[in-house]
Structure 1
Amino acid sequence: MGRWEPNARGRLEQAAMELYGERGYEQTTVTEIAKRAGLTERTFFRHYADKREVLFAGSAVLRERLVSGLAEAPPTAPPMDAVAAGLQAASAVFDERHAQARQRQRIITANPELRERELVKLASLAAAMGKALRARGVSEPAASLAAEAGIAVFKVAFERWIDTTGVRAMGSFILEGLAGLESLMAGGRP
């Protein structure tokens, strides 16, 4: 494939994921990724700041879905219901990419630097949700607590979802997580 052919970003992502799976994240270079994709290093850097960002490029879309889903909840919805709406809106992104999400998570889990970057991403998502809750008039500390609880539910739901065969939608795991959290808050056992 020539470098002028379409979908350079997708080709770079596919090449990176293949190489990370074959050789490991640490042993893979940007040069190898670009070569596997049939592109140049310069093209790689037009799309990604570094090889780590191939794994985290979807963070902006995820944040947008979380925040917009939360913002679109009815104005009278309690904070956790608004958070639930954001989580459900974001979960739709994943259902079409189960195999890719599973592969991505294996790569991240195998590398301490990437695990740290994943935690930074989750903290950023919680901050964005907290800001969106405050914009809805939710005061502190309720806004931050609801946002952090939502991200905890998301994290647990995601881990459970990638451990499945992909038959169930991620949204069902989110609903289970929210129900479990509610049960815990009520003093029960999930």
Structure 2
Amino acid sequence: MARWEPNASQRLADAALELFAERGYDNTTVLDIAQRAGLGKSTFFRHFQNKREVLFGEDALTEQLVTAIAAAPTGATPLETVARGIDALGQNVFTPAHRAFSIRRRAVIEAHPDLQEREALKGISLTASVAQAIARRGIPVLTARVTAELSTLALKVTYERWSDVDNTDEYRDIARQTLSEVQAAVSAV
């Protein structure tokens, strides 16, 4: 692959996931990733701080979700605002083109306890960001926190279902079904 080809960041991420699957996360170096992508080590560091950031670097998910929550119509319930955010994720983050990457990313994380811990910490951060976005809409803090916890649970379940190898459903359809299941579970309590 020529060094001048576009999409260096995606090429590095794809190369990293291939190598993580082949050799394991611990047995893959930044140099290995750069070479597999047909790029230099310095190019890797222009896009990522370290190999872990290939899996966790971009936080487009939080930004998209919080922006959509803020843009929800006045009068929307807290869960309706989150549903708008989840729809935005399906249009901009969890697209059909991104599904294969997500499946491979999930497999690498599930095989490595340190990465699972990092994923959990990102989930906690996401929950806090969602709670703040909901509270900024004038929703009481406790209601915002509960909604955020339920919403991130729904997001996690949706992601797991969507990134399942055997899945053929669209992200938005899975997300809407999961949100309905969460609402039903809360009503049953």
Normalised by the length of structure 1, the TM-score is: 0.92
Which residue of structure 1 aligns with residue 37 of structure 2?
Answer: 37
Query: Which residue type is aligned with residue 60 of structure 2?
Result: V
Q: Does 1:91 align with 2:90?
A: yes
Amino acid at match of 1:151: T
What amino acid does structure 1 have at the position aligned with 2:136?
Answer: A
Structure 2 residue aligned with 1:157: 158
Deviation at 1:3, TM superposition (A): 3.2
Partner of 2:6: 6
Kindly provide the amino acid, as one letter, of the partner of residue 130 in structure 2: M
Match of 1:143 in 2: 144
Distance in 2 of aligned mates of 1:124 and 1:111: 20
- Cα deviation per residue 1:26-64 (whole Å; 9 max; x = unaligned)? 110001111111222111111101101101133x21111
Secondary structure (helix, strand or coil) at the match of 2:75 reads coil
Backbone CA RMSD of aligned residues? 1.5
Query: Unaligned 5+ residue runs, structure 2?
Result: none
For residue 164 of structure 1, report the CA deviation from its aligned partner.
5.0
Aligned counterpart, 1:46 = 46
Aligned counterparts of 1:6 and 1:162: Cα–Cα separation in 2: 26
Any idea what SS the aligned residue of 1:77 has?
Answer: coil
The question of whether the paired residues in 1 share the 8 Å contact of 2:161 and 2:167 is answered with no
> How many equivalent residue pairs?
187
Q: Provide the C-alpha distance between the structure 1 equivalents of 2:68 and 2:46, rounded to a whole number of angstroms.
A: 30
Contact 1:98/1:166 (8 A) holds in 2: no
Maintained 8 Å contact 1:69/1:90: no
Alignment correspondent of 1:75: 74
CA distance in 1, matches of 2:178, 2:171: 11
- Is the 2:158–2:178 Cα contact (8 Å) retained in structure 1? yes
CA distance in 2, matches of 1:7, 1:173: 29
Could you give the per-residue CA deviations for residues 60-100 of structure 1, whole angstroms, max 9, x where no partner exists?
Answer: 21111111121121110111111111112112321321111
Q: Is the 8 A contact 2:72 2:84 kept in 1?
A: yes
Alpha-carbon distance, 1:2 to partner: 4.2
Identity level (%)? 42
User: Which residue identity is paired with 1:107?
Assistant: V
Distance 1:147 1:18 in 2: 34
> 1:120 matched to which residue of 2?
121
| Amino acid across the alignment from 1:159 | E
In the superposition, the TM-score normalised over structure 2's length comes to: 0.92
Take 2:85 and 2:127, find their aligned partners in 1: how far apart are those partners? 11
One-letter identity of the residue aligned with 1:139: P
User: Structure 1 residue 174 and structure 2 residue 175: aligned?
Assistant: yes
